[in-house]
Structure 1
Amino acid sequence: MASNTSKTVNDQKVRGMTPGCSPLVESLPGRGTGALVFKRPNDGPPACYYRYHLAGKPVLLKLGSYRRTTREVGFTLPELRDKATAMAQIAKEHGDVKAYLAKQASDAEAARIEQERAVEAARLNAEEEARERQRLAEIEASRGTLGELFLDYIEARRGKATPGVIRELERLYQANMLTPHPAIVAIKARDIRPDHILAILDPIWSRGAKVQADRMRSFLVAAFNHGLRAENAVGRANAKRYSLESNPAAVVAVEKVSAPVERALSDAELRQFWTTIESTEGVGPVMALLFKFVIATGGQRIFNICQTTWDDYNLEAGTVRLVHRKGRKDAGAGASERPHLVPLSPRAVEILERVRAVNGCHPWPWTTTGKQHIVVSSPRHAVADWLASDHAGIDGKEITSFSPRDLRRTCAQLMQKHGVSDSLSDLLQAHGQTGVVGRHYRNNPEAALPEKLRAIELFDRALVMVLGEVVEQADNVVKLEKKKA
């Protein structure tokens, strides 16, 4: 019987193997390099093994199935020889081929797992980064621009400031921000720097509107302060966030330019203002009567009048008690209060009776809300409304701008023109009451009433002439009827 132990195997021999036949063996070139072993235990194709010796014992390592035809799965004889040669090299270098291959497979599996973990971690990290980018994009989209901040500030002022103030803020926004500086207006409010504020204010200053530059700066400061406060307010309607950390407008300095202090209304201007203020759009009836009352009382300080309550009007004496304060409220002993009694002319009484018909149920005569007296800025805005109306002109010539405090100067000059002495005028207006006058009258305001009565009488005569009224013989001071409880 022929032996199958030939050291050379060819395709004919391998194909000729029958199920259960003896193995075919082919030694690899070189001593101790091992051999190829072919076995066919069943009807399947022959299986090829690499045989090597480890510690004197033979070890078989399956290389794969022999491919008898092109349609079968497996390896050709040359491919199996190459695989065996590779195993022989491993055996030569590492000894135990199976252990080496097992370790290689384990290392490869570990590497595969690590790679999968790295890929998964990278995927999760990419998803997290995408979510973070989305979150930041949403935050960025919700962050308001400078323009949105200023408009938000304007909306916050609605219901608190007069319509005239709101219109002025909207006008300044259009004229000084949106139209000349659209790029700055579009910058996120948190990214605005002082140089952006300067870019807005410098053109205003350069065209000579220095007072407006200062006001614009004040409005910008107020807008940023609003943004700093409002973002953390509970129940805020506006969803915009500004992420402000500081107020860039606050560090910008605008040289203070005092408004001209020589402005006084002429007789014609005073008459025009008196006769039209009540019919001016945007100026409420109480505000209009406030201006008339200030004039009728000889030019008292308008905010002192605003602060009075009904209790400050002495119905029996026919006077109003004003309080002039000097120094800050928190200045302790450095702050002082000085009472000032002002007699009421029939004209002033008539005005006050009209106010009582409107505000008699409130603590203050001079209130437009019933919740507090008129604030200091409201008269200024009301005058601005009048100046912006069709009434602010005489014979086609526009009346020069003035402020509420100019009414005080107007009354003082009116008295001067009509022969009222400076001392009487100053006494009536509580102006410059120092020295001898202060020592005699400051601690006893009632002692000055006779002189003040004479001053108000002379002033009202002058006012009658300016207003072109018909003079009627009547008492110069009328006592108010007692206010109903």
Structure 2
Amino acid sequence: MSETDEIGRKPGKNIGKIVTDATLRALKPGGTATDSLPGRGNGAIYFDCKPSGVVAAFYRYAIDGKRRKVHLGNYKARPRDTGRTLAELRGEAQRLALISAKYGDVAEYLAGQEAAATVDRIERQRIAEFNAARGSFDDLFLDYIESRRGKATPGVVKELERLHKTNMQTPHPAIVNMKARDIRADHILTILNPIWERGSKVQADRMRSFLVAAFNYGLTVESVVGRANSKVYGLEMNPAATIKVEKVSVPVERALSDVELRQFWETIESTEGVGPTMALLFKLVISTGGQRIKNIIETTWDDYDLDARTVRLIHRKGRGGQTMGRPHLVPLTDRSVAIVTQAKVINGNHPWPWTTHGKQPFVISSPTHAVVDWLDSKHATIEGQKVTSFSPRDLRRTCAQLMQKHGIDDRLSDLLQAHGQTGVVAAHYRNNPEAALPEKRRAIDLFDHALAKVLGEVKEQADNVVPLTPPK
């Protein structure tokens, strides 16, 4: 008699319609078993013992009279084996039976699902890569700063970097790390309101202007050919453009009185928080007749010719900025030469006279902070009265009014300060700055004489001017 299994089937033949774990563990290589699913036409689980002894399970069903199989996994004979238990295989087979009843060909349906999942995975990856490439608010502002290099003056770029750190990066890290396209007006207000509330109302307005410019840059930069930065921003609007900063009423007529000017001159060097170089900068601004402090800050030692007693300034007012500079040759008096000589002792080994560490010139806000320090000091009290607030820019107006009070012709005053120079005369002087130097020297000599009176170096007796120091 031939050998039979526990249910009377010969090895290698298809065993029964309902199987057990014992049945599957007893299968030999080449042996098969079928476990029919409940319900007519729902198919069955087909077990096939491979030469390795592993029992592979398939969901078997019929389409148009043809049998087809979908792999369910391997049968898990022991707890430490990999694969699925008989109960798990039956559960998965029943799920596929429902798919077969609804969609027909299970293999075709699963292939379609896998293809759709692949497409979805690729799309999610594409979106993730796109979002990774899409720049943050921080990226946008830094990108804008880089775009200003070579166009704006180094001082403006340095000021942008300072404002980025003090007004954005340090106090609002969560906002700056947001995607630029997700920034809304309320985020801009979160940045600007603290600046306004601490009393820096002009800075709040400037900060808003820079933010508007940065977002305007981001709206168009992706269309620029040859751009080094690969970040994209996908901006649809400028959130900063909708914000309005209440205009601050800044006094435009503030000029220091003679007493205030003398007090400032004599005490700025001894003011706590004001370094010696900054104090010399203020004195040079005053002694040169009120030159724009920003233009003097930007000078290098190459701009000074102490033998010729001149300093070459570059005026960059208007839209031309860095690329449309207008030279302005300023004569230096003995007083100014002495000031520059003192600065050379301090910073002669640096490219710029007006610097703290030699890495770059003062940022444009530094003189403002120095004036605030002076106003907060004991020196800003004269005869028991606090000096009214003023800014470094008011020194220019102070010098202009000083010239006017002492009868210096307005044309000479304007020429010395490079103020209102237009038309043919301006074109001539722009092409040849030295052409106006003789008249500027006459203006600066008259101004220095007026300044000497203010500083108490000379006094008037009737129509004569008498030096306080006896002649040598």
Instruction: Calculate the TM-score normalised by the size of structure 1.
Output: 0.52
- Partner residue of 2:331 out of 323, 329, 342: 342
Deviations 1:387-435 (A, max 9, x none): 1577456349775553332111122233445x34344644543445689
- Aligned partner of 2:151 in structure 1 is none
2: CA distance, partners of 1:233 / 1:283: 42
Deviations 1:354-407 (A, max 9, x none): 2222443455544567677x47xx233431354157745634977555333211
- Partner residue of 1:383 out of 368, 373, 377: 368
2: CA distance, partners of 1:318 / 1:225: 45
The structural deviation recorded for 1:141 is 8.4
Deviations 1:164-197 (A, max 9, x none): 987766664599x85xxx9977864322245764
| 8 A contact 1:294–1:300 mirrored in 2 | yes
Summarize the alignment of residues 29-178 of structure 1 with structure 2, pairs less than 5 Å apart.
104-106=64-66, 114-123=105-114, 125-126=116-117, 129=120, 133=124, 146=137, 172-173=167-168
Amino acid at match of 2:436: P
Q: Does 1:217 align with 2:208?
A: yes
The structural deviation recorded for 1:293 is 0.7
- Partner residue of 1:406 out of 394, 419, 432: 394
List gaps (5 residues or longer) in structure 2: 2-6, 9-14, 17-39, 41-60, 71-98, 149-153, 460-466
The structural deviation recorded for 1:297 is 1.7
- Quickly say closer, same or farther: Cα 1:382–1:222, change in 2 above 3 A: farther
2: CA distance, partners of 1:296 / 1:303: 15
Q: Does 1:248 align with 2:248?
A: no
- Quickly say closer, same or farther: Cα 1:284–1:129, change in 2 above 3 A: farther
1: CA distance, partners of 2:328 / 2:155: 30
The secondary structure found in structure 2 opposite 1:379 is: coil
List gaps (5 residues or longer) in structure 1: 1-18, 20-43, 46-63, 66-82, 84-100, 476-485
1: CA distance, partners of 2:229 / 2:421: 51
| 8 A contact 1:310–1:364 mirrored in 2 | yes
- Aligned partner of 2:49 in structure 1 is none
1: CA distance, partners of 2:424 / 2:130: 68
Summarize the alignment of residues 287-302 of structure 1 with structure 2, pairs less than 5 Å apart.
287-302=278-293
Cα root mean square deviation, aligned: 6.1
The secondary structure found in structure 1 opposite 2:456 is: helix
The secondary structure found in structure 2 opposite 1:263 is: coil
Summarize the alignment of residues 196-275 of structure 1 with structure 2, pairs less than 5 Å apart.
197=188, 211-221=202-212, 224=215, 243-245=233-235, 248-249=238-239, 251-252=241-242, 254=244, 259-267=250-258, 269-271=260-262, 273-275=264-266
The structural deviation recorded for 1:116 is 3.0
- Aligned partner of 2:436 in structure 1 is 445
Instruction: Calculate the TM-score normalised by the size of structure 2.
Output: 0.53
Deviations 1:305-354 (A, max 9, x none): 3454545444444343546678765999xx89565442313x32221112
1: CA distance, partners of 2:162 / 2:389: 17
The secondary structure found in structure 1 opposite 2:311 is: strand
| 8 A contact 1:325–1:338 mirrored in 2 | no
2: CA distance, partners of 1:365 / 1:103: 91
- Aligned partner of 1:454 in structure 2 is 445
- Aligned partner of 2:296 in structure 1 is 305
| 8 A contact 2:452–2:458 mirrored in 1 | no
| 8 A contact 2:155–2:364 mirrored in 1 | no
Amino acid at match of 2:408: S
Deviations 1:269-293 (A, max 9, x none): 5455445555667765444422221
1: CA distance, partners of 2:325 / 2:229: 41
2: CA distance, partners of 1:326 / 1:161: 13
- Aligned partner of 1:49 in structure 2 is none
- Quickly say closer, same or farther: Cα 1:461–1:317, change in 2 above 3 A: same
Deviations 1:102-156 (A, max 9, x none): 9854166699794134325525644764686578568768977658977999999
2: CA distance, partners of 1:222 / 1:116: 58
The secondary structure found in structure 2 opposite 1:352 is: helix
The structural deviation recorded for 1:461 is 1.1
The structural deviation recorded for 1:224 is 4.6
- Aligned partner of 2:341 in structure 1 is 353
- Aligned partner of 1:27 in structure 2 is none
| 8 A contact 1:162–1:381 mirrored in 2 | no
| 8 A contact 2:314–2:326 mirrored in 1 | yes
